[in-house]
Chain A
Amino acid sequence: MNKKSGTKSLFSTLIGKKMLMGLTGLFLITFLVVHCGINALIFFNDGGELFNKGAEFMGTNLLIRTMEIVLFLGIIAHIVDALLLTLSNNKTRIVKYAHQKPNANSKWYSRWMGLLGTLILMFLIIHLKHFWVISRFTDHIAHSELDKLPGQETMFAEMKEIFENPMVVLLYVAAMVSLAYHLMHGFQSAFQTMGWNHPKYTPAIKKIGFWFSIIIPFVFALMPIALHLGIIK
């Protein structure tokens, strides 16, 4: 058998590209935990005081701001890699089956990760425009109710205002459904791709992945609903 010389580098093969997909996916999952945790501070129902503190911390802490850049790089890598893989996978079966029963052997959301991801991306663009752009690139957001300048609002007040629109609430909830299904496949799939498979731990990973993909999007979806209905004031 030939020695290793002449073989491709890790990320140039399809397995390598899938590993990049899995690693960036797992990284984005850790982001979801942080994001969901900070935002869930609104559930203290203290007029957004704690939440505004959290938002200020996220906007000013150096480590978080650095990780923000890494996060965007992670998202871009996840998207570009997905595009490259999809383009190459689209070329593997030019003549399609006349009759196919894909539901007999696999879950629909495992086959539609690209579509679910695209829906999440579309939501992400709108979501960034709603909150991130305003807080990072304008003077519109005040750190708290106390040091609010004329014309400024706190992050919490901004959130309440945006979620007054029922269409926006609907969009956010729909996006969280997409996220739930994306995670339901993605979470355990990332572990499988990385080869982290073990008879003892894989069933636990699958179980955690299942509940993670339900709980996190559910808590996220609860936020616009609660704000819209005025349950959180």
Chain B
Amino acid sequence: MKFNLKIWRQKNAQAAGKMVDYTIENINADMSFLEMMDVLNEQLIRKGDEPVAFDHDCREGICGMCSMHINGRPHGPLRGTTTCQLYMRNFTDGETIFIEPFRANSFPIIRDLVVDRSAFDRIMQVGGFVSVNTGQVQDANNIPVNKADADLAMDAASCIGCGACVAACKNASASLFVSAKISQYALLPQGRIEAQERVLAMVNQMDEEGFGSCTNTGACEAECPKGISLTNIARMNREYYVASIS
């Protein structure tokens, strides 16, 4: 297969970037999108050009590292997939593909397609955990957990923190990410103890990091590779106002 690529190139955070055109040929339809990028980079290196910097790690859809805004959508045209799970057979031969970094002021570009998503880490640092005192681990069955709640908590916990929600949102809101993290704890008895302090701290930090507000367009849910539900945002808001008035 042959593709015309338009890729965002930017030397560093300070430099101005621009879209650069590349043509790539002899691409196997069963290559993943990242493998296609690898082939492009090998060609660039052979020519003596700078390879395109992009994030990737596990390449099996669970680490949340690969980003990229492909043809106008985070992680490309398929629903419920990360970029590493996107295959070239999902594109047509000769197609022009736009490849951009996830864009948000809170995700500053480090280089080319690599963005700094440490704003998410800072939100987690203020409350995305359960404080555990040292000592013997107690028996898991000592704390009964409703199966329905356990399932919802597990669904929320499947968020891989990739930032596609922010990239898709017209306001670059981090509500889906933050609400998933708040929900995964709020739904379980172990997390309930610090639930109020957690929601106040994390919502506060989300604003501090410069993410926008949630307009309930649902773009985040539609683009989330893990199918995190908007109901988490409703839960976060509920938790938030109860915590702030109590």
Contacts and interface: CB of A to CB of B under 8 A. Distances in A.
Contacts of B170: 89, 102, 106, 111
A223 to B, nearest CB: 31
Interface stretch (A139-147, A194-202, A213-221): A194-202
Interface in B119-162: 127, 131
Nearest to A113: B215
B207 A13 contact: yes
Interface in A185-200: 185, 188-189, 192-197, 199
A110 B213 contact: no
B8 A98 contact: yes
Interface string A104-140: 1111001101000000000000000000000000000
Contacts of B238: 194-197
Contacts of B189: none
Given A7-B244, A10-B245, A98 B215 contact: no
Contacts of A104: 72-73, 77, 222
B28 interface: no
A93 B218 contact: no
B235 interface: yes
A134 B198 CA distance: 54
Contacts of B235: 195, 197
B171 A4 contact: no
A152 to B, nearest CB: 47
B114 to A, nearest CB: 15
B216 interface: yes
Contact of B168 (A8, A105, A196, A202): A105
A105 B103 contact: no
The interface residues of chain A, by DSSP majority, are classed as loop
Contacts of A94: 105
B112 interface: no
Given A92-B106, A104-B72, A110 B203 contact: no
A102 B105 contact: no
A192 B212 contact: no
B6 A98 contact: yes
Interface in A1-58: 1-4, 7-10, 13-19
Contact of A93 (B17, B73, B103, B206): B103
Interface string B195-232: 01110110110110011111111110011000000110
A1 B207 contact: no
B5 interface: no
A99 B104 contact: no
Contact of B237 (A7, A15, A99, A102): A15
Contacts of B206: 14
Given A1-B197, A3-B197, 17 more contacts: A1-B194, A1-B198, A7-B244, A15-B236, A15-B237, A19-B241, A89-B215, A91-B105, A92-B106, A92-B173, A102-B170, A106-B218, A113-B215, A193-B214, A195-B238, A195-B240, A197-B230
Interface of B: 6, 8, 17, 19, 69, 71-73, 77, 98, 100, 103-106, 127, 131, 168, 170-173, 194, 196-198, 200-201, 203-204, 206-207, 210-219, 222-223, 230-231, 233-241, 243-245
Interface of A: 1-4, 7-10, 13-19, 85, 88-89, 91-102, 104-107, 110-111, 113, 185, 188-189, 192-197, 199, 202
